[in-house]
Amino acid sequence: MSYGFAAINTSGQTIISDEMENLHFLGKATLTGNDGGNYGDFPGYGGANDTLDGRVIFTYTITATAPPLVFIKPSDYNRWHAIITQSNSGSTWTFDVIASGTSTSDAPELYCFVNANSTSGTTSTHGLVVWKPDGTTRTFDSRYNPLAISDGGTLAPPLDPTDGSGLPGNTSGHSWNYATNDHDFRSTTRYTSSAVTGTYSALMFAAPSLAQATYKRQMEGYKKSTWCCASCCGHCLCSSSQEHWSTAMWWVMYRNTFRLRSGYMDAGWTNYAAGYSFSSSHEGGGWFGGGGGSYSSGSMPYTAKTINLTSNAYIIADATRYG
């Protein structure tokens, strides 16, 4: 570079230049509502292993002329969080944030950052502004609180999102209409960690991730009833039978979520949706066995698997710098 401005740290990394655009604090997104909290258990089921971690979807908006980079500042650091959708209509940006648990209190704060040229409105007359060679595009403007990254790295959650032993699957040979879940679908112990520095209660994180998983526990039941339809002198002259089938299924869809705690950044899972379905049927029983019939409720809308499981970059900053 034959002209311009550059600031380089002791590690040889470029901090400020007229070629690289820095991110600057735009403001906090406005909390506009939540979905009320759901999936603390399996809807329609009340037996063993019914408990789930639960989740709340909080919705936020902010006005920005460029796509913001969003940091999550937890209000409750025991909860897991992640941005699951981001959209815009004109200059209005909307974010949906998932949080573990079913409490609608303790919503996280969202700190939004944009490039320097998308900031405006300051009345400050002092600071440092760096332009690109065109003389009009700002790459750095100290009046708008430039983003200072304090830590970062990459993390991926474990393949199995469930606390139960191994991945849940399908089994047969159960009694007809058997419907008792034997798998723990919570995610309390299912996470990976990376060491971070700083006072965790002051930190915020940005960690985009598309990782998600869906798994089910399915139990197939069966019974065959046989009886004598005519007899003579103690002998059965003809017999009839009736077969019975049943299927019980519990399923959960998870999203990759994150947690800050003292000394660590964790990547784990939070259940996004869940369901229970049950079906039972029997065939007609021959001459005197009665007619057939069936009953079913619920269905699983997703195929069981984990997708987009890759190491995702995360960055951490001190929220107290930005008010």
What are the pLDDT digits (tens) for 109-133? 999 999 888 887 777 778 787 877 8
* End-to-end alpha carbon distance in the chain: 36
Q: In this structure, what are the phi and psi dihedrals at residue 117, rounded to the nearest 5 degrees?
A: -70, -10
In-domain check, residue 124: yes
In-domain check, residue 202: no
Q: Do strands 81-89 and 92-100 pair parallel, antiparallel, or not at all (unpaired)?
A: antiparallel
Residue 121 and residue 171 in one domain = no
Residues 79 and 231: their CA atoms lie apart, in Å, by: 68
In the predicted model, what is the mean pLDDT of residues 24-31? Answer: 95
Residue 172 and residue 147 in one domain = no
In the predicted model, what is the mean pLDDT of residues 158-180? Answer: 94
Q: Do strands 212-232 and 170-175 pair parallel, antiparallel, or not at all (unpaired)?
A: parallel
Q: What percent of the chain has pLDDT over 70?
A: 83
Q: Do strands 192-195 and 264-282 pair parallel, antiparallel, or not at all (unpaired)?
A: antiparallel
Residue 216 and residue 78 in one domain = no
Cα R_g (the chain), whole angstroms: 28
Residue 45 and residue 126 in one domain = yes
Pairwise pLDDT comparison (3 vs 25), residue with the higher score: 25
In-domain check, residue 312: no
Structure tokens at 318: 């001190």
Residue 165 and residue 67 in one domain = no
In-domain check, residue 226: yes
Residue 138 and residue 48 in one domain = yes
Please say if the pLDDT value at position 58 is more than 80: yes
Q: Are 227 and 240 a contacting pair, CB within 8 Å?
A: yes
Please say if the pLDDT value at position 284 is more than 70: no
Structure tokens at 128: 């440092």
Smallest CA-to-CA distance from 63 within 89, 98, 84, 83 is with 89
Residue 128 and residue 171 in one domain = no
Which helix (H) or strand (E) segment holds residue 170: the answer is strand 170-175
Beta strands in 262-322 (DSSP E): 264-282, 293-297, 305-307, 312-318
Q: Do strands 138-141 and 149-155 pair parallel, antiparallel, or not at all (unpaired)?
A: unpaired
Determine the longest span between alpha carbons in the chain, in angstroms: 113
Please say if the pLDDT value at position 25 is more than 80: yes
Please say if the pLDDT value at position 286 is more than 50: no
Pairwise pLDDT comparison (234 vs 219), residue with the higher score: 219
pLDDT band at 290 (very low <50, low <70, confident <90, very high): very low
β-bridge mates for residue 299, sequence order = none
Angle at 248 between CA 243 and CA 254, to 5 degrees: 155
3-state secondary structure at position 200: helix
In the predicted model, what is the mean pLDDT of residues 35-59? Answer: 96
Residue 129 and residue 241 in one domain = no
Find tokens 């990254």 and name the residue.
Answer: 149
In-domain check, residue 313: no
Structure tokens at 251: 């399923």
Residue 61 and residue 121 in one domain = yes
Smallest CA-to-CA distance from 245 within 209, 219, 271 is with 219
Residue 35 and residue 68 in one domain = yes
At residue 230, the pLDDT reads 58
In-domain check, residue 255: yes
107-111, 144-148, 250-254, range with greatest mean pLDDT: 107-111
3-state secondary structure at position 183: coil
pTM, rounded to two decimals: 0.85
Q: Are 219 and 177 a contacting pair, CB within 8 Å?
A: no
For the chain, the domain total comes to 2
Residue 64 and residue 87 in one domain = yes
Residue 138 and residue 180 in one domain = no
Residues 137 and 265: their CA atoms lie apart, in Å, by: 36
Q: Are 269 and 161 a contacting pair, CB within 8 Å?
A: yes
In-domain check, residue 174: yes
- Domain span at residue 214 reads 158-193+210-264+271-306
Q: What is the DSSP letter of 320?
A: G
Please say if the pLDDT value at position 291 is more than 50: no
Mean pLDDT over each residue of the chain, to the nearest integer: 86
At residue 85, the pLDDT reads 95
Please say if the pLDDT value at position 214 is more than 90: yes
In-domain check, residue 301: yes
Q: Are 185 and 52 a contacting pair, CB within 8 Å?
A: yes
At residue 299, the pLDDT reads 63
